[in-house]
Chain A
Amino acid sequence: MRVIRVHNVSKSFAKLCAVNDLSFEVEEGTCFGLLGPNGAGKTTMMKMIYGRSSRDNHNGGGIDVLGYDPARDELAIKYLSGVVPQENNLDDELNVIQNLLIYSKFYGLPGKVAKERIKGLLEFLELLEKIQSPIRELSGGMQRRLVIARALLNHPKLLILDEPTTGLDPQVRHVIWDKIRQLRAQGTTILLTTHYMEEAFQICDMVLIMDKGKQVLEDNPQRLLRENIETYVLEVPIANGTPALCESDPPDGVRLDRTDATMRFYAQGIDPLKSVADKLAGNPYYLRQTTLEDVFLKATGRALNEKQ
């Protein structure tokens, strides 16, 4: 079953076209990632899904979420979904449980049910001992987990996360990834935005890379990596005395991508890159497997856009 179906959706603000004719589908019980640089239109796309942003209706596009159209049935969609916005907007005046109790009212949960559910969710997100703590005393990672707990209050069929781990340390990030995997295993469908390629690779079943509002690539992360970029990369920082490797053509099967500060040699096998490295005469280099980040940079370009 498809939980989200987006077809030919566009959204423009004044002069800017934030989302340009985007289409994708999200299968039930999978994790779908929207990837792209800042300003690519990820958050706008996400907001259109839960009715917080309205799509352009001149080009006949449509959105179907769990059988409902956000332009008409935003309440049904919001009731069945949980949303983790980009910023942690907890009420600082209140403590952990009070923050969640306030939100339980929005779902019409009776007090007793709400309290039991809150305890379960705090336990799941490893926050139970903080149940009476004021928000100010929580670390950034705890606040983020609390916002996730808040989004899970109504046992959502669809969980929407806007940059769930931006600015968090590696431990917290791994904990959050584990929680997302567990939720998916329980059948929750997950839609997230991120600009961490590692995150997309770790938890997403499908990834859509977007840039300037348009779809650039869409596939399963392993396949994206396999089909869109060579397996290895040799990175050579350019300093005084770095041999002029780039002046001559790179060997067969090796692709060179050069910026002012770095040369990057890509190849399917490791041996041609080793032979390039040998010519470096002791200058520093870094030989590694390519990651989704390399695909991303290849697809969206290395130059900064006006929003970055």
Chain B
Amino acid sequence: MKSSDAVPYPALSQRLYSVWYRHVRVYTKNLVSNGLPPFLEPLLFLLGVGLGLGKYITQSMEGLNYIEFLGTGLLATTAMFTSAYECTFGTFIRLEFEKVYDGMLAAPITVNDLIVGEIIWAGTKGVFFTFAVLCVLTAFRIVRLPEGLLTPLVGFITGVMFATLSLWVTSFVKTIQHFNFYFTGFISPMFFFSGVVFPISNLPPSVRFIAELLPLTHCVRLARAVCIGRYPPSLLLSLAYAVVFTVIVGWLAIRRLRRRLVR
């Protein structure tokens, strides 16, 4: 047996880049239909809340007025939703319907490269979607610059976390309808119980305990801290949660998807 060093196949960074590049090219092909909604959605949401609901909510939440509280939360949820869709429906379609992975895995990349590239791509989408919300929030003077400029980084972290979770879920799914359980059973409820719409600090202790376990809670905390430029030491816990969650769930996702891709 020869040593594989003799063959100049691309290094890990190039392999991950090529997976990421494939997704970027396909996504940016329909720039208008893919690129406009991330800006329109928060715009409509904030208009609805600002003109309607916000007038009835006068109490401040965690020291922010309501539109600031909700707006800073949306910076994280938008990254969650785009990443979750990308790594459930998107991944499943590439896996089962379009057979895109069959082609990619014939090129010199490994299954691990493919999945990690997918996760980095979902993080990139998180950056872009958070950036879109940031533009809207800045235009309405809800978030100030330069503090807000760090939020796309939180978008990346959020995108990566939900990519690992969604890929792990995808590894179990046999038909595309099964994703409804994930979205209505987990992703949507999380929107309400992770301190996006109202603070979790006044919830009954048992519910609060559960809320503290949810990944989105920590993403929202990071986003808000960055926006207001206040970094309490407890924020390190949220950061640690993000790292540990990504490593453990990412490992589970890779392990299970690998069995599905290399049989």
Picked from B1, B8, B100, B261, the residue with its CB within 8 Å of the CB of A91 is B100
Q: Which of B9, B98, B103, B263 has the most CB of A within 10 A?
A: B103
Nearest A-chain residue to B106, judged by Cβ: A83
Checking A76, A92, A102, A107 against B25 with a beta-carbon cut-off of 8 angstroms, the contacting residue is A102
B99 within 8 A of A: yes
* Contact status A53-B263, CB under 8 Å: yes
Task: Return the contact of B108 from the options A54, A79, A92 (Cβ within 8 A).
Answer: A79
B106 to chain A, nearest CB (A): 3
B174 within 8 A of A: no
Instruction: Name the interface size band of chain B.
Output: 20 to 34
B-contacting residues of A (Cβ < 8 Å)? 13, 50-54, 64, 67-69, 72-76, 78-80, 82-83, 85, 87, 89-94, 98, 101-103, 105-108, 147, 150-151
Between A and B, 10 residue pairs with Cβ closer than 8 Å are A53-B262, A54-B262, A72-B1, A76-B4, A78-B106, A89-B99, A89-B102, A106-B109, A107-B108, A108-B10
* Cβ B2 vs Cβ A85 within 8 A: no
Across chains A and B, which 3 residue pairs bring their CB atoms closest together, nearest first? Answer: A83-B106, A106-B107, A105-B18
- In the assembly, what is the distance between CA of A37 and CA of B2, in Å? 35
Is B105 interfacial (CB 8 A cutoff)? yes
Chain B residues numbered 87-144 whose CB sits less than 8 Å from any CB in chain A: 98-100, 102-110
Select which of A13, A54, A73, A94 is within 8 A of B4 by beta carbon: A73
Whether A98 touches B106, Cβ cut-off 8 Å, given contacts A73-B4, A76-B7, is no
Measured CA separation A105–B104 after assembly (Å): 11
Whether A50 pairs with B106 at a CB distance below 8 angstroms is yes
Say whether B180 faces chain A, with CB atoms less than 8 Å apart.
no
Q: Which A residues lie within 8 Å of B2 (CB)?
A: 67-68
How far apart are A18's CB and chain B's nearest CB, in angstroms?
A: 10
The answer, yes or no, to whether B14 is at the interface (CB within 8 Å) is yes
Closest to B18 in A: A105
* B242 CB, min distance to chain A CBs, angstroms: 30
User: Using Cβ atoms and an 8 Å threshold, which residues of chain B touch A73?
Assistant: 4, 7
- Tell me whether A102 and B1 are in contact in the complex, defined as CB-CB below 8 angstroms, given that A75-B108, A79-B7, A83-B106 are known contacts: no
Cβ contacts under 8 Å, A107 to chain B: 10, 107-108
- 8 additional contacts, CB 8 Å, given A72-B4, A87-B102, A94-B25? A73-B4, A75-B110, A76-B6, A79-B8, A79-B108, A93-B30, A105-B22, A106-B108
Let me know if B21 is at the binding interface, CB within 8 A: yes
**Chain B contacts with A in 1-55, Cβ cutoff 8 A:** 1-2, 4, 6-10, 14-15, 17-18, 21-22, 25-26, 29-30
